[in-house]
Structure 1
């Protein structure tokens, strides 16, 4: 029985970001760096959320408009817009977000499952947990689901 309290105290480090006026977070372990917005070179026949590719120190990296990927409309580039460079397995990609807010640590037990939304048409589930935190509600994004195989191949 001693395993339960220890498991409840497992800590998770997250980074929060603003997208279309909403707060989202991802596991900090997926983040390689945060960089200012750089215009991407468009790719033909790419999905609308795929902004194109940029050169990241010799690596051709796809850039995804996270606002559009989440179905929240196209991003409007502003002075706080940044590209969060993430790595999932062997895929590296940039996620355009409206702003990065903070990094923080929470107990894994604070993360709650998202509500059931029925059949999502077989598409990926972008949110795997909801975090109520100090009067705010943050949705934790699944980085791997945001980087579909087609996007990695397009690069």
Structure 2
């Protein structure tokens, strides 16, 4: 990849990110994708969905699916008093839809510049990093920037969204 391409990709990534914690690791979600943050509430289970789809909630008259990001990333599901749902706007083949993401807690909103963001490194194996936008350095800590459309907007989730 050329430096011009790297610069173009990094420039498109600069901006504001909501940082959230999952299993003591920090992840960033583009603020423009975030609609709201709500406390954890009762989620109505839906049969025959992937294990990481906890079910649905009624959010002001709209039924939206809720995904546990810990389970989606292969982590153990844990709930604490700081666990919450981040409602995001996801671009799918069928259009734009809202989804809830269960996270351990919300940290802060950070503004990232070009110099703060590094491209996702090569891991030397066939590892799918398509759901990662890059890695950000914030106050000496590395935060993984998620492409939330790819994390939760796949074909499988499109089929689930169409159920509602």
Give the structure-2-normalised TM-score.
0.81
For residues 16 and 40 of structure 1, the distance between their equivalents in structure 2, rounded to whole angstroms, comes to: 23
Which residues in structure 2 correspond to 1:1-155 (within 5 Å)?
Answer: 11-74=14-77, 76-89=78-91, 90-117=96-123, 118-120=125-127, 125-147=130-152, 148-155=154-161
* 8 Å CA contact retained: 1:62, 1:152: no
- Residue 11 of structure 1 and its aligned partner are, at CA, apart by 4.4
> Which 5+ residue runs of structure 1 have no aligned equivalent?
none
Q: 1:124 to 1:92 in 2, by over 3 A?
A: farther
Deviations 1:57-111 (A, max 9, x none): 111100000111112222x111101100000231210000000010011213321
For residues 113 and 58 of structure 2, the distance between their equivalents in structure 1, rounded to whole angstroms, comes to: 37
- Residue 126 of structure 1 and its aligned partner are, at CA, apart by 2.3
Number of aligned positions between the proteins: 146
SS class of match (2:150): helix
For residues 43 and 11 of structure 1, the distance between their equivalents in structure 2, rounded to whole angstroms, comes to: 37
Deviations 1:2-28 (A, max 9, x none): xx8xx96x8411110110110111110
For residues 19 and 40 of structure 2, the distance between their equivalents in structure 1, rounded to whole angstroms, comes to: 18
Q: Which runs of 4+ in 1 moved over 3 A?
A: none
For residues 66 and 108 of structure 1, the distance between their equivalents in structure 2, rounded to whole angstroms, comes to: 27
For residues 85 and 114 of structure 1, the distance between their equivalents in structure 2, rounded to whole angstroms, comes to: 25
